[in-house]
């Protein structure tokens, strides 16, 4: 578990804006020795209840977040340069709640979960080959249309890219996985079932080691007032 914690801490930072008592702008403090400087990181107010992503990638410091607007715009920006410039990714008739950035070779992968106007819920991946300035058309990850949160991603730092999410296609929620062998350009036609059913699940962690999936852990509750247990495959 310590090995995975080190891996995850080095790869991802995700935070959720929970309620209206939280100020809907992000402030980043850069530390350099004993001095520090604070900057306002996002140009638009956050969509409350959504998650934002902040971490260093292959070639810089990245921020991804959903804006509070009727158009439901997702913004990606580089914080280490061009701080005032943001890449806007707009999803028509789609309500997004989650965004995560992954870094694979020279590419940036944008993973987001959204609920469409017809109630169908999908996980999407978009690839950028120019440092997040532009993103290609989204690729659907899940073969069904019942993806819930939370979700997590992992890479082998080459071309393999894995996505795990909670799914409600059956009576009980289960964790499913799909993966790409070509850097997020395409995924398997059928999702892979990872766990038995549970009432509620949280904290999915996928460890990739030596170019393969090494282990998967999650917390699950099975009662009406669940006490969560940590499970490891």
Domains of the chain in start order, with CATH, are 2-232 (2.120.10)
What is residue 181's predicted lDDT score, i.e. its pLDDT?
A: 93
Q: How many CA atoms does the CB half-sphere of 147 hold within 13 Å?
A: 29
All residues at 6 or more sequence positions from 133 whose CB lies less than 8 Å from its CB, including other chains: 87
On the question of pLDDT at 108 being above 70, the answer is: yes
Radius of gyration of the chain (CA): 18
Q: Is the pLDDT reported for residue 15 higher than 70?
A: no
In angstroms, the CA 187 to CA 179 distance is 6
Q: Quote the CA–CA distance of 79 and 1 in Å, as a whole number.
A: 31
pLDDT band at 31 (very low <50, low <70, confident <90, very high): low
Which tokens in the block code for residue 207?
A: 């460890």
The share of the chain scoring above pLDDT 70, in percent, equals 73
pTM over 0.95: no
Q: Which two tokens stand for residue 82?
A: 């061009």
The string of pLDDT tens digits covering residues 174-219 is: 899 999 999 999 999 999 998 887 777 777 888 887 777 878 887 8
Higher pLDDT, 94 or 3: 94
CA distance 116 to 93: 6
Among 62, 163, 157, 153, which residue's Cα sits nearest to residue 103?
A: 157
């Amino acid at each position: 578990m310590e090995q995975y914690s080190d891996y995850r801490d080095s790869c991802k930072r995700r935070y959720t804006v929970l309620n209206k008592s939280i100020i809907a702008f992000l402030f980043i403090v850069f530390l350099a020795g004993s001095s520090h400087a604070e900057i306002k990181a996002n140009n638009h107010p956050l969509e409350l209840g959504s998650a934002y992503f902040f971490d260093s990638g292959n070639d810089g410091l990245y921020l991804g977040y959903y804006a509070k607007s009727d158009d439901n715009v997702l913004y990606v920006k580089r914080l280490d340069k061009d701080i005032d410039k943001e890449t806007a990714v707009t999803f028509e008739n789609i309500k997004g709640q989650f965004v995560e950035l992954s870094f694979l070779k020279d590419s940036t992968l944008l993973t987001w979960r959204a609920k469409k106007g017809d109630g169908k819920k999908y996980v999407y991946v978009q690839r950028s080959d120019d440092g997040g300035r532009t993103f290609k058309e989204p690729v659907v990850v899940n073969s069904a249309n019942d993806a819930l949160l939370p979700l997590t991603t992992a890479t082998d730092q080459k071309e393999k890219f894995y996505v795990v999410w909670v799914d409600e296609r059956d009576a009980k929620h289960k964790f499913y996985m799909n993966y790409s062998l070509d850097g997020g350009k395409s995924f398997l036609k059928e999702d892979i079932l990872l766990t038995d059913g549970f009432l509620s699940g949280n904290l999915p962690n996928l460890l990739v080691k030596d170019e393969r999936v090494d282990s998967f852990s999650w917390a699950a509750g099975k009662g009406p007032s669940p006490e969560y247990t940590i499970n490891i495959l």
